[in-house]
Every structure is written in structure tokens, then in C-alpha cells.
Amino acid sequence: MTFQENEFESQAAELRDKITTLDAELTEDFKSKFLIVPFLSRKIVSFQGNKDKPAYNWYKYKEAFSAGLVEYFLSNYEGGTQGKVLDPFAGIGTTLFAASERSIHADGIELLPIGQEIIQTRLLLQKGLSSSDTATLERWIAFQPWKEFPERVPFNIFRITKGAYSSETLDAIERYRGAMHQESEKIQAILRLALLCVLESISYTRKDGQYLRWDARSGKIRPGTKPFNKGEILSFAPAITAKLKEILSDVTSYEVPTTLFPIPQTSSDIRLFEGSCLEILPALETASYDAIMTSPPYCNRYDYTRTYALELAMLGLTQTEVSNLRQEMLSCTVENREKDLLKICPNWSPFIEAANHQRLLKRINTYLENEKAAGILNNNSIPRMVRGYFSEMACVIGECIRVLKPNARLFMVNDNVRYAGVGISVDMILSDIARTLGFEVEKILVVPGKKGNSSQQMGTYGRIPLRKCVYVWRKR
């Protein structure tokens, strides 16, 4: 080791110690707030909990939480059973539909077109189907009209989606899209929904957090990597007809007055705002919501615009539109450039300051910058991502306080993360920022059993457990 390397390592060790000390101090500070809740299993806080829930299980949105989780919070906290709920990161609308089923009005904000499309089509389907709509869908299931349809309607292909389907599947999708255009707008929306729901299962790809993973049968094998096999790749016709049957059966059972069929008629309104919550939140009315139930992207480098690329291409987005979308998303990937938050909203200085002055975060930021300067980070944009994540989240939190009624609660699902050997207690850092901005931290509910780290991190630094929590904050 050179003198310089030695010097650097002792500085890094000192900073790590300081981070450990500050983390321990904050843990002591929040000691009475932490509570392990057995009900909050990994299943209930994730999409897994929706597996058997009609309509919620049509489209597998891996980043979703379950309707059961929303019901739990809305029914276990007073004030959560009436009025109006907001989810600024609505995803496929779990909060919105689960709240609406309890006769609570729900507003959602979602930026990603796949989430928007699922929500809008579910809303359309909740209005029910006419007998002629049902007959049309039954005809599609029985006669598979795309098979003989002469006209193909191609769709966008990105660099990262090229070769995602076998030639037979590609041909079937294009004919399906051709035949689809003969139908009414409503039927088209349902056929498109079914198509989006099966895309992954008929492709050579598997969604894998940061990117799309390719099955070796695609012929795309990265040199030096172990060939990956995703298991059965479904053929188009059985996959799409099964999905259409499932949707039709779930929807038609709305109209049957029996509790055997579990999709209730909704009696209250759902409003979806399409766009970035950073832009939309400032336009929402002050003190107008009774609760916020949400889960933002985690600070874990997961890139939704990559993992949902098949769907975004199918929805007609261009490569440039996807790149722009990536920049608009809450910063959680190494590709996110810094956002000019004060340009979005000049009132946000105190929120940004709150993030800048959070003591533990300050040390973490310095540590990551030093690691970058020493060339040890596996990606040099990690410090920018972490700083951006917390500044943007501080602005979201500040806006959430503003739009909540006094004493109303915010429930947030989020994961802690780890970079360059240092655990980042996202739960305590965000709770501390929330406290500075005017929330009382009522509880930090811990999901039992801790999650590991990325294989890369584990190899280098060993396994350190990471908390997954639901924060319960109340507007003071």
C-alpha cells in the first residue's frame, strides 16, 4: 500500500466509524418507535400478497404492495376509514382500488405509462361490460381471430428489447394488434391490457430489478456469464386466451350479487394524475387529504424504464421518450442526473435544506464522494443518486405534509440499502427529515426477517441485514 492509499483507507475507516456512531445515536433516538409487526410479512408488503386477489393479480407489477396492506392501515388507524386518500407513487393503483373498495375517495399520481394504463383500464372495466362486449370477448377467446388476420400492426422495438420474442410469437402479437384495431375503443383497451399482462411470460426475458435478464434461448448470451433459463416460455395463443378468460370471469362476476365473487363494486371516486409527483404535488390543495399511503421507488438502482421496457415499447413510447421518462422518475438509478428542484418549485428550499443538514446523510454523502475520488465505487454516479434520492424525497415529504389535514397520517413502505460497505438507514434518515419538516414519527414498523444485499455487496463486504419498514408519520 502506498502512503496515499494508507492515508485514504484510514480516512475512510474514520468516516465509517462516524457513520456507525451517528446511526447508533439515531437508533437510540427512535428506539421507542421501532416495532416488529408479525402481520407485516414479506408477502403482505409485496405483490405476492395479491396473488389470489382478482383484478389486483392481472398484471404482475413486482414493485407493488398488496391490497391487504392498504386495508390493514386504513382499518387499524382512526381517521383512515373515511374521506380522501392520496398515493403520490400509485404504481398500478393498489392504494386507489383498495381504498375505493372501502368507500374512500382516492387520488393517485403515477409517472410510468404501464401503471397508468393498468389503472385506467381497471377503471374502465369497473363500469361493467355490456352483453355485446362480453360476447365479443368470448368470441376472441373461442375463435382467436388474430390467427387468420391478414394485417400485422408492428410495435416499437428498443435496443434493449430487440429479439425479446420468437418469430412465431412476434408474428402472433402483430396479427393480434391488427385484429384488435377492428374493435371498439373499450374492447381494444381490454385486449391491450391482456397483451401487457402476458408479455413477460411469452418473451425470452425476465424482469430483474436493474435490467431485463435474457434467457439463453434468445441467443443473447453475455460472454463470461452463466446461461440463464427462465423456465417455461408460454406460447402466445394459450397465454392470451387464459388471460382474457381470467379478466372476463373477474369482471362479469362484479355484476353477480354474491360474495362468492370477490371484486366489489366501488362506490367512491378514483382520480389518476398522470405525470411526476414532483410536478403535480405542488398543485394539489393544502390540507385536503385524510391519509397518504404510498411506496416510493427504493434507493436501490432499480430502473423501471428498463425492466418495463417491453411494456413501454408496446404502449408506443419511443426510445427518446423512455430516456426522458428515466430522468423524470424519482432519482434511484445511477443514470439519473441532478434535478433542478428549485426550478420545479421555488418554495422547496427548506425541504432541500432539511436533507442537506441531516447529519447521518451528510457523512454518508462525504464517504461516498471520497470512495468515488479514490476510484473504488463500482459506479461513480452512486453518490449523485443517493444525494438526489434524499433531496427529492424531502421535497415529496414536505409537499405531503402540506396536502394532509392536521393530525392525518402518512404510511410509507421503503427499504434500507447499502453502498460501498455502508448501510444506509433510509428509514431513520427519512423519518428524521420528516420530523424536521413537521411530522411526528409515530412508529417505524419493521417487517420481520431482514433482507440481504446484492450479491456484489455480499461478496465484498459480507452479509449485513437490511430493514424493510412501514413508516407511520402523523402531521403535527
In the complex, minimum distance from the CB of residue 38 to ligand SAM, in angstroms, rounded to a whole number: 22
Q: Can residue 89 be called a binding residue for ligand SAM (CB under 6 A)?
A: yes
- Angle of CA points 192, 196, 200, to nearest 5°: 155
The three cell numbers of residue 119 are: 389503472
By beta-carbon proximity to ligand SAM, the closer residue of 89 and 419 is 89
- In the chain, % helix, strand, coil (3-state, to 5) comes to 50, 15, 35
Q: Can residue 302 be called a binding residue for ligand SAM (CB under 6 A)?
A: no
392504494: which residue's cell? 95
By beta-carbon proximity to ligand SAM, the closer residue of 330 and 404 is 330
Q: Can residue 109 be called a binding residue for ligand SAM (CB under 6 A)?
A: yes
Q: Which of 115, 383, 398, 423 binds ligand SAM (CB under 6 A)?
A: 115
By beta-carbon proximity to ligand SAM, the closer residue of 87 and 133 is 87
Q: Can residue 276 be called a binding residue for ligand SAM (CB under 6 A)?
A: yes
Number of residues counted as binding ligand SAM (CB under 6 A): 23
Stretch that binds ligand SAM, among 2-10, 107-115, 340-348, 462-470 (CB under 6 A): 107-115
Q: Can residue 322 be called a binding residue for ligand SAM (CB under 6 A)?
A: no
CA pair distance 432, 361, nearest whole angstrom: 10
Q: Can residue 111 be called a binding residue for ligand SAM (CB under 6 A)?
A: yes
By beta-carbon proximity to ligand SAM, the closer residue of 171 and 274 is 274
Q: Can residue 388 be called a binding residue for ligand SAM (CB under 6 A)?
A: no
By beta-carbon proximity to ligand SAM, the closer residue of 50 and 218 is 50
By beta-carbon proximity to ligand SAM, the closer residue of 215 and 399 is 399
Stretch that binds ligand SAM, among 72-80, 294-302, 337-345, 365-373 (CB under 6 A): 294-302
- CA dist 411 → 38, 55, 119, 275 (Å): 17, 23, 21, 22
β-strand 270-274 against 105-110: which pairing, if any? parallel
The three cell numbers of residue 153 are: 400492426
Q: Can residue 278 be called a binding residue for ligand SAM (CB under 6 A)?
A: yes
By beta-carbon proximity to ligand SAM, the closer residue of 172 and 278 is 278
Q: Can residue 400 be called a binding residue for ligand SAM (CB under 6 A)?
A: no
Q: Can residue 64 be called a binding residue for ligand SAM (CB under 6 A)?
A: yes
By beta-carbon proximity to ligand SAM, the closer residue of 141 and 280 is 280
Stretch that binds ligand SAM, among 185-193, 194-202, 205-213, 327-335 (CB under 6 A): 327-335
Q: Can residue 63 be called a binding residue for ligand SAM (CB under 6 A)?
A: yes
Q: Can residue 92 be called a binding residue for ligand SAM (CB under 6 A)?
A: yes
β-strand 422-424 against 417-419: which pairing, if any? antiparallel
Q: Can residue 341 be called a binding residue for ligand SAM (CB under 6 A)?
A: no
CA pair distance 424, 430, nearest whole angstrom: 11
Q: Can residue 277 be called a binding residue for ligand SAM (CB under 6 A)?
A: yes
- Which residue has the CB atom at the shortest distance from ligand SAM? 91
Amino acid letter, residue 76 = N
Tell me which long-range contacts 335-343 makes (C-beta under 8 A, separation of at least 24). Answer: 335/303, 335/381, 336/381, 336/384, 336/385, 336/388, 337/384, 338/384, 338/387, 338/388, 339/278, 339/388, 339/392, 341/278, 341/391, 341/392, 341/395
Q: Could you tell me which of 473, 369, 375, 348 has the C-alpha nearest to residue 422?
A: 369
By beta-carbon proximity to ligand SAM, the closer residue of 65 and 439 is 65
CB distance 289 to 405 below 8 Å: yes
DSSP strands (E only) in 306-388: none
By beta-carbon proximity to ligand SAM, the closer residue of 90 and 172 is 90
Q: Which of 44, 85, 106, 112 binds ligand SAM (CB under 6 A)?
A: 112
Stretch that binds ligand SAM, among 106-114, 231-239, 282-290, 431-439 (CB under 6 A): 106-114
Q: Could you tell me which of 147, 120, 130, 140 has the C-alpha nearest to residue 191?
A: 140
Stretch that binds ligand SAM, among 38-46, 89-97, 262-270, 464-472 (CB under 6 A): 89-97
Phi, psi (degrees; rounded to nearest 5) at 107: -110, 140
Alpha helix (H) residue ranges in 102-206 = 113-126, 131-143, 167-180, 185-202
The three cell numbers of residue 379 are: 459506479
Binding stretches for ligand SAM (CB under 6 A): 61, 63-65, 89, 91-92, 94, 109-112, 115, 276-278, 295-297, 304, 328-330
